C-alpha cells in the first residue's frame, strides 16, 4: 500500500473516531420514570432515559438590541407499545437571565413551576437515583422549568413549544447568544431534522458574526441586520449552539480564553477575533488582481472552461473603481490580456477578451506563474488567483523547480490563491504555493461548480483593509498560533486566530498592519487572559479542541508535504488522543484497550513512523491525494470543532469516544476513561450513587458532566483521578475537596447585563401540548411508562 494512502487510512480513522460534539448544557427532554421507584436495598436494573424519539427540533431566535426571544418547536414520538407520561424539565443555562417564559403542549397552556438551582439539583438527583442513570448530572447547578405532561399513547406524538426571552451580555462590543441543544442525545433515534435560525438586528452596526460550536451560514442583510443559520439531518446533537456577534463603529478585537491550571502544562488556550470597522469605503483600499487560468484541452470537459470564464467575468465586473487587473491564460504557451496591469475601467473590454478564449493544448504552469510574478509590483496588495485542472506537461514540469522559479520572481506583497479542479492536479504544488505566499488552496471536486466557488471566494477578498498583520500581546507569552503567518483582513470578514498562552491577567494588545503602503497601529487595552476556567460551564471549553484541530491539520500538511518525522507524528498522536480529534493515526482509540498512557502513545507513534518510512511515496495527484489535501486544509482552517458522526471499522464513534467539556473519554471494558489519565496514576474510588458521589457532583460541575457518562467512569479534576465503581463495592470515605472556583471575570462592559445566577422573572409558566404535531420543544419531559413494570435482576 502506498505510504500516503496508509497515512490517510490510519490517521483518518483516529480523526474520524474523535471528532465528536462536546457535551454541555441542556434544552428540554422527556425522561421516562420507572413506574415503581427503586429502593436502595433492592437490586434494580437501570431504567433508560432514552424512551422517546424526537421527530425534529426547530429553533427560531430573534435578537433586537440584545434582547433575545427564543421560540422552540419539537415533536416527541413514543415508539413503544405502552403509554408514557411524566414531567417536563427545561434546564436554564447557567449564565442566562431568562424572562417571560411561555410553554404550550399540543397548543394548550400548561402550568409550570420555576425551580431554583438548588431545587433543580434535588430533582435531578432524585431522577438519577430512581432510574439508576446518571445522565442528568451534567445539569447540576442550573435552575429549571418543570411542568406535568399528559400521557403519550403508544405510537403517539406530543408537540411541545417553548418561548422565552432573555437579555444578552456584551463586553467590549461582543454579544454572546447560547442555545442549549444537547439533551437531544436522549432521543432513541437520531433526529430527522434540527435547525436553528437567528435573526439579529441592532441600532449599532454589526461588524461580524461567528459560531465557535457549529458551522453556520451568515447573511449580511444590512449594516444593522444579519441572519445566521444552522441545519442538519439524521443527527443526535449533544453540544450547545453558540453565536457571537460584534457591534460598534470602530475596528474590533475580541479575546476569548480558557485555562485549566491542573492540565499537564497548565497553559491556556485563546481565540482572537479581528474584524474591520463596518463603514469601509472600497475605493480607499485599492488592490491588484492577476487572474491565471488554465485553458489546456482537458479544461474543455464537463463545462469546466465555461464555468472558469463565468468566474472571471464575475471578478472583472466586481472590481473596485481604483483596482488594477490583468489576465493570463496558459496551455502549450501563454496569452495575456495586456503586457501590464490595467485599470478597472477596462473591465468590460477584458470580459470580451475572456469570451474569445477557448481550451486547447497542454499545460505550462511554470511559465504562467513566472509571468504573473513579473507582472506584480510592490505598490499595492496583489492577489494572484490561479486555476488549473491538470499536472504540468509543458516546459518546466518538476514541482520543485516551479516552486523555486516562482519564489525567485515574486515580491513579498503577493498573495497566491490556488484552485485545483478535479482529481488530476498536483496537490503538493498547489498547497506549497499557497502556504508559501500567505494564501489558501481549494479543490473543486467533480460535480461542484467552479464559477460558484471562485465567485464566493472573490466576494470575501474584494476589499482588503489591512495587510501584513502582526499581533503583540504585551507581557503574555503566546505560542503555537494558527494561522501563522496571519492572513490579510478584508472588509465584511474576520480573521480568527487560535493559540496557547502562559500566564494570566489583563494586557494591552497591539495590532500592526499596512494600509495603502503605510504602517498603522491599533491598540486594544485591557484584554483578559483567563487564569482558571474550571467549574464554569461555557462554550469556551471548545477552544482546546479547536486549537488542536488546527494544529493537527497543520502537522498533517507538514507530513504530507515534507515527509514524516518522529517528533511530528508523536505530536499528532498525543494531540489526537488528548483532545479527541480524528486523525489518520488514531483508530486505536476504538480498537485498542484504554487507557492510552504515555508508553502506549510512544509505541503507536513509533509503529506509525516505521510503517510510513517503509512505504513508497504516494503520488500527489489523484482522488486520494485531492481528498486528503482538502480534508487537511479544512482542519487547518477550521472555525469550529467537527460535529459530524462517524463510523470506524463498523463501530459508531460516539458510542466509544465522547468529548465532555475540554476532556475526551474513551469507553473500554465498561468504563469511560479520561484520555488525560495515565495508568500509573492512583485513583480515588467513589461508589456509584453514594453520598460521596453526589457530594462530588455538587462540588464540581466538571466531575458532574463526566459522571453523567455512565455508572463506571475515571475522570480527572484538579489533577486528581476519580474512579466511579459499582454501588456495592466497599470503598473508604472520600474527602471531598473544595474545588477551585473560577476567577472573577473582571469589570464588565457598559452594555453587559449581569446576574448572580440564572433567574426567571415570572413566578409561573404557561405550557401546552399538541397531538400529532410536527414540531418540538425546549425542555425535558420525564415520562412514566404505565405498561412497564420495574425489572429486577
Q: For 438-489, what is each residue's pLDDT tens digit?
A: 999 999 988 889 999 999 999 999 999 899 999 999 999 999 999 999 999 9
d(CA 737, CA 458): 56
Mean pLDDT of 603-623: 82
What the block records as the C-alpha cell of 368 is 504562467
Q: Residue 492: pLDDT band by 50, 70, 90 thresholds?
A: confident
- Indicate the helix (H) or strand (E) that contains 29: strand 29-30
d(CA 708, CA 26): 13
* pLDDT(735) > 60: yes
Task: Check: CB of residue 1 under 8 Å from CB of residue 616.
Answer: no
Q: What's the pLDDT at 192?
A: 78
| C-alpha distance from residue 7 to each of 278, 607, 753 (Å) | 44, 12, 50
* pLDDT(249) > 80: no
* pLDDT(695) > 60: yes
Residue of higher predicted confidence among 92 and 719: 719
Cβ burial, residue 575 (10 Å; 0-12/13-18/19+): buried
* pLDDT(746) > 80: no
What the block records as the C-alpha cell of 791 is 425489572
| C-alpha distance from residue 514 to each of 277, 364, 488, 489, 682 (Å) | 15, 34, 10, 10, 55
d(CA 7, CA 10): 5
* pLDDT(654) > 70: no
Q: Which of 170-184, 251-265, 350-364 shows the lowest per-residue confidence on average (mean pLDDT)? A: 170-184
* pLDDT(514) > 70: yes
Q: For 300-320, what is each residue's pLDDT tens digit?
A: 888 889 999 999 999 999 999
d(CA 248, CA 172): 9
d(CA 444, CA 422): 6
Q: What's the pLDDT at 772?
A: 30
Q: Residue 757: pLDDT band by 50, 70, 90 thresholds?
A: very low
Mean pLDDT of 776-789: 32
- Indicate the helix (H) or strand (E) that contains 691: helix 691-699
d(CA 27, CA 57): 11
Q: For 259-296, what is each residue's pLDDT tens digit?
A: 988 787 889 999 999 888 766 676 678 999 999 999 99
Task: Kindly give, in sequence order, each residue whose CB lies less than 8 Å from that of residue 507, ignoring residues fewer than 6 positions away.
Answer: 473, 474, 475, 476, 526, 527, 529
Q: For 425-437, what is each residue's pLDDT tens digit?
A: 999 999 999 999 9
Sign, CA dihedral 228-554-461-524, equals: positive
Q: For 615-639, what is each residue's pLDDT tens digit?
A: 777 788 899 899 889 988 888 888 8
Cβ burial, residue 598 (10 Å; 0-12/13-18/19+): exposed
Buried b / exposed e along 134-152 (16+ C-beta atoms within 10 A): bbbbbbbbbbbbbbbbebb
Q: What's the pLDDT at 5?
A: 38
Q: For 357-411, what is each residue's pLDDT tens digit?
A: 999 999 999 999 999 999 998 888 999 999 999 899 999 999 999 999 999 999 9
Q: For 106-154, what is each residue's pLDDT tens digit?
A: 787 776 677 777 787 788 788 787 767 777 777 777 777 777 667 888 8
The closest of 215, 199, 44, 78 to 643, measured between CA atoms, is 215
d(CA 18, CA 36): 39
Amino acid at each position: 500500500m502506498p505510504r500516503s494512502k496508509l497515512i490517510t487510512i490510519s490517521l483518518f480513522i483516529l480523526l474520524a473516531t474523535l471528532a465528536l460534539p462536546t457535551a454541555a448544557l441542556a434544552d428540554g427532554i422527556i425522561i421516562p420514570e420507572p413506574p415503581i421507584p427503586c429502593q436502595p436495598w433492592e437490586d434494580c436494573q437501570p431504567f433508560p432515559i432514552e424512551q422517546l424519539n424526537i421527530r425534529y427540533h426547530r429553533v427560531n431566535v430573534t435578537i433586537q438590541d440584545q434582547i433575545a426571544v427564543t421560540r422552540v418547536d419539537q415533536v416527541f414520538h413514543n415508539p413503544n407499545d405502552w403509554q408514557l407520561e411524566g414531567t417536563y424539565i427545561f434546564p436554564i443555562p447557567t449564565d442566562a437571565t431568562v424572562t417571560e417564559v411561555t410553554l404550550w403542549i399540543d397548543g394548550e397552556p400548561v402550568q409550570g413551576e420555576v425551580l431554583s438551582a438548588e431545587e433543580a439539583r434535588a430533582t435531578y438527583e432524585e431522577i438519577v437515583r430512581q432510574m439508576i442513570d446518571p445522565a442528568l448530572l451534567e445539569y447540576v447547578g442550573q435552575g429549571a422549568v418543570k411542568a406535568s405532561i399528559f400521557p403519550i399513547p403508544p405510537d403517539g406524538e406530543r408537540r411541545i413549544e417553548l418561548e422565552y426571552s432573555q437579555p444578552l451580555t456584551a463586553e467590549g462590543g461582543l454579544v454572546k447568544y447560547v442555545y442549549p441543544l444537547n439533551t437531544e442525545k436522549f432521543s432513541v433515534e437520531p433526529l430527522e431534522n434540527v435547525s436553528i435560525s437567528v435573526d439579529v438586528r441592532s441600532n449599532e452596526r454589526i461588524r461580524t458574526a461567528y459560531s465557535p460550536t457549529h458551522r453556520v451560514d451568515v447573511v449580511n442583510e444590512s449594516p444593522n441586520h444579519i441572519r445566521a443559520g444552522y441545519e442538519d439531518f439524521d443527527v443526535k446533537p449533544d453540544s450547545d449552539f453558540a453565536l457571537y456577534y460584534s457591534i460598534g463603529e470602530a475596528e474590533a478585537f475580541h479575546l476569548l480564553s480558557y485555562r485549566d491550571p491542573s492540565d499537564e502544562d497548565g497553559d491556556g488556550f485563546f481565540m482572537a477575533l479581528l474584524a474591520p470597522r463596518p463603514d469601509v469605503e472600497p475605493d480607499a483600499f485599492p488592490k491588484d488582481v492577476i487572474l491565471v487560468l488554465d485553458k489546456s484541452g482537458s479544461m474543455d470537459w464537463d463545462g469546466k472552461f465555461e464555468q472558469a470564464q463565468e468566474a472571471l467575468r464575475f471578478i472583472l465586473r466586481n472590481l473596485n473603481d481604483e483596482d488594477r487587473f490583468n489576465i493570463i491564460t496558459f496551455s502549450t504557451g501563454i496569452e495575456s490580456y495586456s503586457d501590464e496591469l490595467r485599470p478597472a475601467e477596462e473591465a468590460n473590454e477584458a470580459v470580451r477578451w475572456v469570451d474569445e478564449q477557448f481550451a486547447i493544448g497542454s499545460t505550462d504552469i511554470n511559465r504562467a506563474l513566472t509571468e504573473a510574478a513579473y507582472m506584480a509590483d510592490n505598490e499595492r496588495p496583489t492577489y494572484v488567483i490561479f486555476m488549473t485542472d491538470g499536472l504540468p506537461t509543458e516546459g518546466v514540469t518538476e514541482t520543485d523547480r516551479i516552486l523555486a522559479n516562482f519564489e525567485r520572481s515574486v515580491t513579498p506583497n503577493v498573495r497566491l490563491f490556488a484552485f485545483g479542479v478535479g482529481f488530476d492536479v498536483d496537490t503538493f504544488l498547489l498547497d506549497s504555493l499557497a502556504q508559501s505566499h500567505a494564501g489558501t488552496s481549494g479543490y473543486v471536486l467533480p460535480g461542484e461548480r467552479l464559477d460558484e466557488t471562485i465567485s464566493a471566494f472573490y466576494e470575501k477578498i474584494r476589499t482588503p483593509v489591512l495587510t501584513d498583520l502582526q499581533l503583540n500581546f504585551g507581557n503574555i507569552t503566546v505560542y503555537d498560533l494558527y494561522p501563522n503567518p496571519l492572513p490579510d483582513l478584508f472588509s465584511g470578514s474576520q480573521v480568527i486566530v487560535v493559540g496557547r498562552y502562559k500566564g494570566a491577567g489583563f494586557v494591552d494588545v497591539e495590532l500592526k498592519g499596512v494600509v495603502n503602503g503605510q504602517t498603522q497601529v491599533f491598540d486594544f487595552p485591557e484584554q483578559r487572559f483567563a487564569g482558571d476556567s474550571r467549574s464554569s460551564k461555557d462554550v469556551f471549553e471548545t477552544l482546546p479542541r479547536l486549537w488542536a484541530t488546527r494544529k493537527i491539520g497543520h502537522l498533517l500538511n507538514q507530513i504530507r508535504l515534507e515527509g514524516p518525522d518522529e517528533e511530528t507524528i508523536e505530536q499528532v498522536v498525543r494531540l489526537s488522543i488528548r483532545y479527541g480529534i480524528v486523525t489518520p493515526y488514531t483508530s486505536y482509540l476504538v480498537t485498542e484497550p484504554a487507557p492510552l498512557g504515555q508508553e502506549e502513545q510512544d509505541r503507536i507513534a513509533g509503529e506509525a513512523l516505521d510503517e510510513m518510512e517503509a512505504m513508497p511515496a504516494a503520488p500527489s495527484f489523484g482522488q486520494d491525494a485531492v481528498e486528503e489535501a482538502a480534508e487537511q486544509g479544512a482542519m487547518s482552517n477550521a472555525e469550529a470543532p467537527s460535529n459530524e458522526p462517524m463510523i470506524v471499522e463498523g463501530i459508531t464513534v460516539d458510542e466509544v469516544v465522547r468529548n465532555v467539556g475540554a476532556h475526551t473519554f474513551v469507553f473500554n471494558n465498561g468504563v469511560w476513561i479520561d484520555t488525560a489519565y495515565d495508568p500509573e496514576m492512583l485513583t480515588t474510588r467513589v461508589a456509584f450513587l453514594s453520598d460521596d458521589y453526589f457530594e462530588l457532583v455538587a462540588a464540581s460541575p466538571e466531575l458532574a458532566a463526566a459522571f453523567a457518562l455512565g455508572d463506571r467512569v475515571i475522570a480527572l479534576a484538579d489533577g486528581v483521578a476519580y474512579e466511579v465503581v459499582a454501588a456495592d463495592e466497599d470503598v473508604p470515605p472520600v474527602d471531598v475537596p473544595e474545588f477551585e472556583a473560577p476567577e472573577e471575570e473582571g469589570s464588565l462592559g457598559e452594555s453587559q447585563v449581569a446576574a448572580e445566577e440564572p433567574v426567571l422573572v415570572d413566578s409561573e409558566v404557561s405550557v401546552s401540548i399538541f397531538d400529532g404535531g410536527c414540531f418540538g420543544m425546549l425542555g425535558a419531559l420525564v415520562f412514566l411508562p404505565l405498561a412497564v413494570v420495574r425489572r429486577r435482576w
